[in-house]
Amino acid sequence: MNFCSLDFRLLCILIVISYASGSYVRPLPRSTLSVPLDTKSSSDPQQVHVSLSGNDNYMRISWMTKDDAVSSIVEYGTSSGKYTSSAEGENTNYRYLLYKSANVHHVVIGPLETGTLYYYRCGGNGAEYSFKTPPAQLPIAFAVVGDLGQTGWTTSTLQHVQQMNYDVLLLPGDLSYADYRQPLWDSFGRLVEPLASSRPWMVTQGNHEIEKIPLLVSTPFKAYNARWKMPYQESGSPSNLYYSFEVAGAHILMLGSYAEFGTDSDQYKWLQGDLSRVNRRKTPWLIALIHAPWYNTNTAHQGEGDDMKDAMEELLHAAKVDIVFAGHVHAYERFTRVFKNQPNPCGSVHITIGDGGNREGLASRYEDPPSGLSEFREASFGHGEFVIYNATHAHWTWHQNDDDESVVSDEVWINSLASVSNSC
């Protein structure tokens, strides 16, 4: 897109109108965007990413091509260049104002062996990619990063994540920060492809994925739903905005802060049913991701998660959810176990990890004096690592981006609530 064009100036006016209709006005960009150029041919796959399909030993491969003739097929095998299996899937595209997306392909492959390196090719053309399937049993390592965007800090965060020996990446919303400018969804896909094509990325939506414009774009989450298909159907959810999946010994809830969540909503009813089916002997760890945090001592976005907390916190508490990851606030904060605004040994640990590198900069102002619930807080870019070692113990570390170096600045051991069932 020519950012000096009449179309872009018109879009800016429409965005201002859209902002004026809401309660929160985003600040102007503070960092230079890191936008990878599109250098591939129209038939070559690009923006490749993999995700867990929700069925045991299956994975979903997603990518985009500009050529309509490219088939939605993935060839794969355990040796480079030797593809002993193949699978076909589906493709879609979408329109957003004057923008028309390339074809988005989604193919589920399997059954696959756990803990195994696979080589694959998309659409029968282009480069070979590889990914490693997660382990069948504990231990398992998660990278956790929120509010990524496309800045130099994003690049630094991704480089640090790439150095981890992680199995699955969890992202609690705000991916590309395209904010209506659809080509930035494409550049984001190219930016994260080296990581997202080699390990499963499991995401939920944030406010920057909504992209509604009054009178012009009435359907929210158009780009997000088309590009980042998650296993919602496999988990019995009616919407791509919330779902669950299981991996190794963890049951993970990906909740929608910007989908209806009241007690009579589809999301609430789905969550009730999903939690009723959790088997803590099979999955002793129960984890939730949201976007707007339920607990927050930063002055930014105060109270924006309260309505969802009022509706759903009791459900999560009754189910003994171990940890709740959030984004939205562009800083890091870790809380003690908490329930209904009070310390509670049977409550969830809440962690805000909205510091991936977004263009809006850091949220550096905190309430003073600090809440007794908050155990560590800092406005720095970074990422988290959550390693579940066994059915009872997991280790959390927050890695701060310090002069482009990854520095462990906070860490804590966490016990599974399923392992202390007698007292909770």
> Among residues 415, 301, 271, which one has the least CA distance to residue 363?
301
**Would you write out the chain's pLDDT as a tens digit for each of its 424 residues?**
444 444 454 455 444 444 433 443 444 444 556 677 777 788 899 999 999 999 889 999 999 999 998 999 999 999 999 999 999 999 999 999 999 999 999 999 999 999 999 999 999 988 999 999 999 999 999 999 999 999 999 999 999 999 999 999 999 999 999 999 999 999 999 999 999 999 999 999 999 999 999 999 999 999 999 999 999 999 999 999 999 999 999 999 999 999 999 999 999 999 999 999 999 999 999 999 999 999 999 999 999 999 999 999 999 999 999 999 999 999 999 999 999 999 999 999 999 999 999 999 999 999 988 889 999 999 999 999 999 999 999 999 999 987 666 788 999 999 999 998 678 8
Q: Residue 10's pLDDT is what?
A: 46
DSSP string covering 168-192, please? EEEE-S--S--TT-THHHHHHHHHH
Catalytic site residue from 49, 105, 208, 301: 301
DSSP single-letter state for residue 21: T
Q: Residue 14's pLDDT is what?
A: 47
> Among residues 228, 289, 246, 247, which one has the least CA distance to residue 133?
247
Domains of the chain: 46-132 (2.60.40.380), 140-420 (3.60.21.10)
Q: Residue 422's pLDDT is what?
A: 73
CA distance 247 to 242: 17
pTM: 0.93
As separate numbers, helices (DSSP H) first and strands (DSSP E) second, the chain gives 6, 24
Task: Give the mean pLDDT of the chain.
Answer: 92
Q: Residue 350's pLDDT is what?
A: 99
Q: Residue 39's pLDDT is what?
A: 76
What stretch of H or E contains 63?
strand 59-65
Residue 301 is a catalytic residue: yes
Q: Strand 342-343 and strand 201-203: pairing?
A: unpaired
pLDDT tens profile 235-248:
999 999 999 999 99
End-to-end CA distance of the chain: 55
Token readout for 155 is 């690049």
